[in-house]
A and B are shown apart, each in its own frame.
Chain A
């Protein structure tokens, strides 16, 4: 089932949570709403579910207007951040709840409910825990019970609010992979909220980057990571260095380095910012390119598979980071205090928040 959000705005008193949000979520995709806290992502999710009314705008499911339908009519599966399991019911009753509250005519028989609950328990790999209580389960198990409970009512799609937020790193990894497989198996449209860019990029078919109540960019993980449409998206998705400079005569000057760009504006000599990811910084012992910049190695961070260097530019004094493989690090036999030359590959230039093409 596809979801379409048209011009949705929402505020709480003087705080504007969502400003004129436009979003389309195609059928069967696994979509991440990614943004810092307060960016409106959870509000948007609750609005889709009908748990929160919109101030203005419309919500369509499969082209059908659902703006004024309440939660029960919308038939969506919602998984809460802290799972919201019914603490006084065992796992079986938790999962069966959505079926047992149906009007008598639509309610499955006891045997059917039992069958369905057990097949869901198999799906979430919690067979044998049917008669435990939520307080007797670990965080990861509770999360899976919450998913099974939401799936029991055969929802049109699944909405998950920070599904892995409260779990430790190892469980989080396992659950991510499990959710990915579940999505492939069920083919259900799934929208989840996260503030973790790694989680969004790893898991989602499509990432919706949000900030201050607006959708900043929508696209596949590769698109948003490789072609961020503005500085916010650039800096939110992964580590980034930024260098302040000026643009003049079709060239951006960042300290002593010059980069030719597609700039045909009347405004000359305006401030520009260059963004470079640490893995796009090439480090060598001697200058390899005309734009190479001299830098001093301040500190080496060993991160396991990669090595991160903290460097200071000799021309501007700006501090920045570079990443390289362990092998390359060993080849160069680097030590703090060494004088090095860096080449900035793939610099993205922004003037006043807009991307300038090189």
Chain B
């Protein structure tokens, strides 16, 4: 026995409860997804994945992520920079606004866009007159996804940037660096792990978003169907193998995200330990 105060059986009980819970809610569903997908053999699975509508859903999902993730990286870095390094009027309001997409239901977010850009919406007549389609088209999906994934990068960076302060940036400027040089050579390298972490979370959500996209997409097969929407349609049509085959693609994405996330966490923790521990060691050695 180690020196913990709890008796052994309490510890084992707690660990068992946690493991059973995780097994029931995470592992079993994951196994179910894969076993359903492969239930009729690998041939049918491949056939389902290669189906043109599925492929077009994959393409649309990738396109949406490819637009909304970079957009949110630019916005997130700019917002985090402003919030962490400057004090200005309305800073708290900006912070609240960044959190807004977390606070409202994604379905409401989708509805907002319908109300704004739909045929009956505020900008509807003007858009119709100029022959611009946003709702029930790709732009609407991208907009809704961008809105929903808006907080991830900024939220991840604000604490990192606040903790680092602005000393290093001031030092760079006093040494003659321009604002641009300071950003690329000082700020960005210091936030890179936090930024990557935010990008991964943002990407996972952008590819997996259902509610907001469902409202604005119109579910036009091969046109405005993203992967999560496609899974739902297939499932409602009792095409279970095809539905689960498409779902495995999302599940694989989730697993890759998890692995990357743990890798980054491990990496940043290691870096922090190094930063904290080294000076002590050297001081002791030289004393």
Contacts of A51 in B (CB 8 A): 170, 173-174
The reply to whether B168 and A84 contact each other, CB–CB distance below 8 Å, is yes
**A84 is contacted by which of B167, B177, B279, B283 (Cβ under 8 Å)?**
B167
Contact A101 B279 (CB under 8 A): no
* Choice from A49, A85, A88, A153 contacting B176 with Cβ under 8 Å: A153
A232 to chain B, nearest CB (A): 31
Chain B residues with Cβ below 8 Å from A76 are: 174
Q: Which residues of A contact B286 (CB under 8 A)?
A: 138
**B274 contacts A84, C-beta separation under 8 Å:** no
| Neighbour of A98 across the interface among B167, B176, B190, B282, CB < 8 A | B176
**Chain B residues close to A by CB (< 8 Å):** 167-168, 170-178, 181, 185-186, 189-190, 274-275, 278-279, 282-283, 286
A157 within 8 A of B: no
Query: Do B175 and A87 touch (CB < 8 A)?
Result: no
Given contacts A86-B171, A139-B283, 7 further A-B contacts (CB under 8 A): A72-B177, A80-B167, A84-B167, A84-B170, A84-B171, A86-B186, A98-B176
User: What is the number of contacts between chain A and chain B, taking CB atoms within 8 Å?
Assistant: 74
Shortest CB distance A203–B (Å): 22
Among A101, A135, A136, A152, the residue within 8 A (CB) of B172 is: A101
A interface, CB within 8 angstroms of B: 49, 51, 71-72, 75-78, 80, 82, 84-88, 97-98, 101-102, 135-139, 149-150, 152-153
Q: In the complex, which residue of chain A has the Cβ closest to the Cβ of B283?
A: A138
Partner of A136, one of B167, B174, B278: B278
Contact of A101 among B167, B178, B283 (CB under 8 A): B178
Q: Contact: B175 with A98, CB < 8 Å?
A: yes
Rounded to whole angstroms, the CA-CA distance of A71 and B178 in the bound complex is 10
In the docked arrangement, what's the CA distance between A101 and B167, Å?
18
Asked whether, in the complex, the Cβ of A97 is within 8 Å of the Cβ of B172, the reply is: yes
Q: Is the CB of B278 within 8 A of A78?
A: no
Residues B178 and A49 in contact, CB atoms below 8 Å apart = no
Given contacts A84-B170, A138-B283, contact A97 B274 (CB under 8 A): no
Determine the residue in chain B with the shortest Cβ distance to A93.
Answer: B185
- Top-5 shortest CB links A-B: A98-B175, A84-B167, A84-B171, A101-B177, A78-B174
Q: How far is the CA of A76 from the CA of B175 in the complex (A)?
A: 8
Rounded to whole Å, the gap between the CB of B192 and the closest CB of chain A is 9
Given A98-B175, A153-B176, the answer on whether A86 and B282 have CB atoms closer than 8 Å is no
A153-B175 contact in complex given A87-B190, A139-B279, C-beta closer than 8 Å: yes
Q: Which of A72, A87, A88, A135 meets B173, CB within 8 Å? A: A72
Residue of A nearest to B173 (CB): A71
Q: Using Cβ atoms and an 8 Å threshold, which residues of chain A touch B175? A: 97-98, 101, 149-150, 152-153
What B residues does A71 contact at CB under 8 A? 170, 173-174
- Least CB distance from A171 to B in Å reads 10
What B residues does A102 contact at CB under 8 A? 176
Residues in chain A near residue B172, CB distance under 8 A: 86, 97, 101
Inside 8 A of B279's CB, which chain A residues have their CB?
135-139
